[in-house]
Amino acid sequence: MPKKQSKEKAVKDFIKSLTHTKGRWAGSFFEILPWQDDIIDQLFGTLKKNGKRQYRTVYIEIPKKNGKSELAAAIALHELFWDDEPGAEVYSAAGDREQAGLVYNVAAQMVRNDKYMSSRLKVLDSRKRIIDYETNSFYQVLSNESYTKHGLNPSCVIFDEIHAQPNRELYDVLTEGTDIAREQQIVFIITTAGIYDVNSIGWEVHNYACQVRDGIIEDNTFLPIIYAADQKDDWEDPQVWEKANPSLGYIFEKDNLEIHYKQAKANPARQNNFRRFRLNQWVNQIDRWLPMEKWDECDGKIDKEKLVKRTCYGGLDLSSSTDLTAFVLVFPPENKGEKWQILPHFFVPEDNIMERARRDKVPYDMWVRAGLITATPGNVVDYAWVRKAVNNAANIYNLKEVAYDPWGAVKLATELNEEDGITMVEHRQGWKSMSPPTKELLKMTLGVEFAHGGNPVLRWNADNLVVKIDPAENVKPAKDKSTERIDGIVAMVMALGRALLFFDKKSVYEKRSIRFL
């Protein structure tokens, strides 16, 4: 092995001897970009008095397509093959084995492309393992069940997309106390921003990295590298794009971002993807459907007295008997220039309000005290209170119909229809019935065509809304993908669907179609 002039230079020389594996650079020698060069200098050039590396954890948060996987693969091979660590154990870990295998696949191809390494290292793709028999070292992709396997002694951990970890178990197994037998262990974390969840390990490590970066926490073993747009930055500003993407002009051009920006601008459902994957901003959900700045512009005051005897349509989403139930009234405009009026009602069980407030991290108790939610006695929603609210609405307003999801609501719907004389209409949650009013909700939000009075519970539901989109570009609310409750928006969509059928006999949907790019 040649004599080392400096640790960081030796690492760079090794990495430059590797080759790229994809795209137009495949087969060419590794070109270290300025931001990668800076990381290598800090990680391998910052030493303690005993000459050992100071940093044990490197946290790199950077948008997609900036070359983080190639850098991670190069670091993994250096720690396996070139770091003078007998019995090195290098692991790739991620939310699932397929994701963890992405860095391995790059590393394996780098080995195949190098005559000397390929003669010494054994690549076992079936096991996703690279072995150096000469030093009794290996590089291994971990399976989902690896958190149950204690006794690992990693010299280097490549942790890919930590935001996608379902829990903290695998991270803890690979980092808690595993550095005792390793003087220079590296935990090399590469990730994009994730979904904001204060309970996730991804957010925990991100938050810790920010605090170290900002000097709030002193930890001279932790190196935070974060390329991202600040929350206050204008996501439409090309200068912000450059700030968040250090490989811009090297790996890809601004034209690539411009295309994705135009798609996000035309379709708010894609805006969060642009913010997260291209600007590296943590978001509340992946597939945002409603632009909340426009939703907030629809906060016009609701004058209930002026709504007396006005025509309206209802939507009823009972959800689970232990969760939020929503009954939303939609009032079509009576005169040109008027806005649609939205009047929501919410119900929760009284006995578990504080538990729900802690679980969902929203102030149910405050909303109940403010009269924004009705707390029904017991530990499940008492549908008698919902029935009473529907009847009260029918007595005060000209309630034409109430749309309801038949799942779990047949008994209440039958009572309201047969005993109370209220027209109840089944509104199933399939593409055919949900797509037109869901698209119309977006259209009306963008046009500020309705007023919701700034109701905070309904706003919370709107901010949580995630939609599913099928190949025909039909859309519908996705309760299984939304991180929190969306019951009020589901009820609003159902009510809007019925109202629009009568509001415009010429088919509002044909006149107000939404074009997807």
**307 in the same domain as 173:** no
pTM of structure: 0.62
Ramachandran assignment for 361, one of left (phi > 0), alpha (psi -120 to 50 degrees), beta (any other): left
Does the structure show a pLDDT above 80 at 4? no
| Average pLDDT score over residue span 245-256 | 91
Output the pLDDT for position 148.
57
- In this predicted structure, which of 16-25, 201-210, 380-389, 499-508 has the lowest mean pLDDT? 499-508
Residue 185 lies in a domain: yes
494 and 374 in a common domain: yes
Number of domains in the chain: 2
Rounded to whole angstroms, the Cα distance separating 440 from 437 reads: 5
Tokens of 42: 């800090």
> Could you tell me the end-to-end alpha-carbon distance of the chain, in angstroms, rounded to an integer?
55
CATH number of residue 388's parent domain: 3.30.420.240
Helix (H, G, I), strand (E, B) or coil at 407: coil
Query: Based on the domain organization, do 222 and 298 belong to the same domain?
Result: no
Q: Which of 226, 254, 269 is the last residue of a domain?
A: 226
What torsion do the CA atoms of 322, 327, 328, 329 make, to the nearest 10 degrees?
180
Q: Evaluate if residue 376 carries a pLDDT over 70.
A: yes
**Tens digits of per-residue pLDDT, 492-514?**
999 999 999 887 633 333 443 33
Query: Residue 159: inside a domain, yes or no?
Result: yes
pLDDT over 70, % of the chain: 91
Co-location of 154 and 302 in the same domain: no
Residue 71 shares a structural domain with residue 205 = yes
For the segment 217-240, the average pLDDT, to the nearest whole number, is 93
pLDDT for the residue 429:
86
CA distances from 197 to 163, 245, 285, 357 (A): 9, 24, 10, 15
In this prediction, what percent of the chain has a pLDDT beyond 90? 59
Span 260-280, pLDDT tens digits: 899 888 776 677 788 889 999
Interior CA angle at 352 toward 349 and 355, to 5°? 140
User: What pLDDT digit, counting tens, does each position of 113-138 carry?
Assistant: 999 999 999 999 999 999 999 999 99
User: 189 near 119, Cβ under 8 Å?
Assistant: no
Among 175, 191, 226, give the residue marking a domain's end.
226
Domain span holding position 459: 294-511
Given a cut of 70, is residue 380 above it in pLDDT?
yes
Alpha carbon distances (Å) from 405 to 150, 425, 438, 482: 48, 9, 15, 18
Residue whose C-alpha is closest to residue 468's, from 491, 486, 445: 486
Residue 268, pLDDT score: 66
Q: Is 265 a domain residue?
A: no
Last residue of a domain, one of 202, 226, 250: 226
Q: What is the pLDDT of residue 511?
A: 41
What local confidence, expressed as pLDDT, does residue 513 receive?
37
